[in-house]
Chain A
Amino acid sequence: MTAGAATRGLPIEVRGLTKHFGTVVAVDDLSFIVEPGRVTGFLGPNGSGKTTTLRVLLGLVHATAGDATIGGRNYGEFERPSKVVGAVLEATSFHPARRARAHLRMAARAGGHDVQRVEEVLDLVGLRGDAKRKIGGFSMGMRQRLELATALLGDPDVLVLDEPSNGLDPQGIAWLRDFMRYLAGEGRTVLVSSHLLSEMAQTIDDAVIVSYGQLRAKGTLAEITAGMTGRVMRARTPEADRLSGVLTQAGVAFRRLGPDEVAMDGVQPEQVGPLLATNQIVLYELVEEGGDLESVFLSLTAGLGFGDPASTAGAPPGPQPQPGVRA
């Protein structure tokens, strides 16, 4: 790899991307830009259109409308695309009887890369000692590493990784995190999809959050979390019914999380504390949640903070969080 090549990456641009599978809308008018030299998390729950978007980007799925380009070109327009883009898609797409080195040699041939590169990437992902083993005997973590090695064969400027931490143990996740940061540090563009927020929060610079195929938020982590104005106060009390009545009277949106648990949306501790004290409600726990990536993610993708009518128990709509969408 070329150390210190600070501007070697290419931007990924998704413009008005729409994909229908029959009557199912997998991606709905999605637009965002991924900048080089940064790790961008492509976040959303399962079935939110992340994989479909990445597959359109890689020419595996045809868009119904819009497009997804790398450096202004469609993936299929590159003469040697794996020289430009390395993709980690699914750790199951290997022939089980093929040996790791043979798989990489095949991929090197197909991509038009020097087969000497095979040994380099084996070292890079720590699989040199297992190169002669059949892939069928590999653990999920080893398959992920092999998939990453395949992606790195062309020493690409852009890395596209779809749920790369699936099946990795904590050591593997930590290794992957460092590796992605290292690649972005070299100026490469790194786009990584995931539905696991805790690990992504430690890795990514930017985030694109999608749900139901639509963009919910995008920007730097700081921008997105700053945009979360409606935080959640979670109270655990033996008087949850009485608390519900008090909150209804006070016009605070809330949800019952359990027989002794109530979540209050979009309120500050300074508002809730006096309310509870005035009404002499016994508390076991009062916790402020929100403001981190996971909370933003949940609020944007699971309806939390959007006043889910099924769970607000007749409460008037409270203040709603503003998604940090910056189109």
Chain B
Amino acid sequence: MTNAIRAELIKMRTMPGVWVTLCLALPLTVLVIVGVLVAAGDSVPGHTFNHVHTLRQQRELLGAGYFGILVLAPIMGVLCVTGEYRHKTITTTFVLVPIRVRVLVAKVAATALWAILIGLVTLATVAAVALPWNAGLGGVTTQVTDQAGAVVPGLLASAVLLGLFGLGFGTLVKNQVAAILLTIGGSLILESLLVALARAIFHYDLNWLPNAAGAALAGDIARGFGGGGGRGGERLLQWWQGGLVMLAWGLVPLAIGYYTTFRRDVT
């Protein structure tokens, strides 16, 4: 099993798309950092930017990478599996590791590790950009870093489960573009529409779809990106419920994909 995981990690490491995805975490995080500091400046007349001063703002600043993770971790998962079909390397993969469930488990592990890497890149971006900037605006750095315990586990767990979500749909769909559109478009656009419709028509909080479940797991840092604050304050699931639902959004398509696609003949 270790060999299969190491092979998957080499595959990921040697795919340009994976590095592009990882690098995009940096500008997306900077974008959110700007947004958080602008939002903090709203409360101070005459200031475009201000240092974060509420607990929620401090957590949002530390977890500024969540938006990047929300977009990029599923793409990482999609790339991990659809690249094999796109370039027909799945043949070599299955010849080398004929027990296919072993390949899938290795892909889960590789996706999880790369998703965590995205999370770490966003945290490094926060450390390199947000903290000095916030300090320059008069903020106290330790007030932000003290929130690490509340922010980082949710951030990284979200990264892993969102990566799994992408892997699941990639296994199910196989086509790279379709899988990316389905995961990203589905969670960012379609889900927003469905949530709005469910609220308007049925007065129902549709809080078990992927984005909302991820937001519940991530907590305060996700409120601007599909969490409670961003959608009119609907009730999110508990963090652990969000985690379980997110896990299901990864595992269910993965299991269906395994039985409908992964186990099929490779001709």
Contact = CB atoms under 8 A, between A and B. Distances in A.
Interface in B53-99: 83, 87-99
Contacts of A60: 91, 94-95, 265-267
Contact of A112 (B3, B13, B89, B92): B3
B267 to A, nearest CB: 6
Contacts of A90: 88, 91
Nearest to A63: B265
Given A98-B14, A107-B7, A82 B87 contact: no
Interface string A61-92: 11000000000000110100110000101101
Contacts of B91: 60, 89-90, 93
B1 to A, nearest CB: 10
A226 interface: no
A97 B15 contact: yes
Contacts of B45: none
B87 A96 contact: yes
B4 interface: yes
B203 interface: no
B132 to A, nearest CB: 36
B88 A87 contact: no
A87 B92 CA distance: 9
Contacts of A112: 3
A234 interface: no
Contact of A93 (B11, B14, B89): B89
A52 interface: yes
A95 B266 contact: no
A95 B267 contact: no
B87 A93 contact: yes
A203 to B, nearest CB: 23
A109 B96 CA distance: 9
A55 B16 CA distance: 30
A188 interface: no
Contacts of A244: none
A105 B95 contact: no
Contact of A87 (B11, B93, B95): B95
Max chain B C-beta neighbours (<10 A), residue from A96, A97, A106, A111: A106
A110 B97 CA distance: 7
B29 to A, nearest CB: 26
Interface residues of A, number: 34
Taking residues whose C-beta sits less than 8 angstroms from the other chain, chain B's interface range is 20 to 34
A93 B83 CA distance: 11
A81 B103 CA distance: 14
B103 to A, nearest CB: 9
Given A94-B87, A110-B93, A55 B266 contact: yes
A314 to B, nearest CB: 42
B95 A106 contact: no
A150 B10 CA distance: 15
B180 to A, nearest CB: 18
A59 interface: yes
A95 B96 contact: no
Contacts of A58: 95, 98
B15 A111 contact: no
A99 interface: yes
B15 A106 contact: no
Contacts of A52: 267
A110 B98 contact: no
A58 B90 CA distance: 13
A95 B85 CA distance: 10
Interface in B1-54: 3-4, 6-7, 10-11, 13-16
A82 B96 contact: yes
Max chain A C-beta neighbours (<10 A), residue from B10, B95, B267: B95
A116 B90 CA distance: 24
A102 B98 contact: no
Contacts of A109: 3, 6-7, 10
Given A61-B267, A107-B7, A81 B98 contact: yes
8 contacts: A21-B267, A59-B94, A61-B267, A89-B91, A92-B88, A93-B89, A96-B87, A112-B3
Q: Which 9 interchain pairs have the tightest Cβ spacing?
A: A110-B7, A110-B96, A106-B10, A109-B7, A76-B98, A93-B88, A61-B265, A60-B266, A59-B98
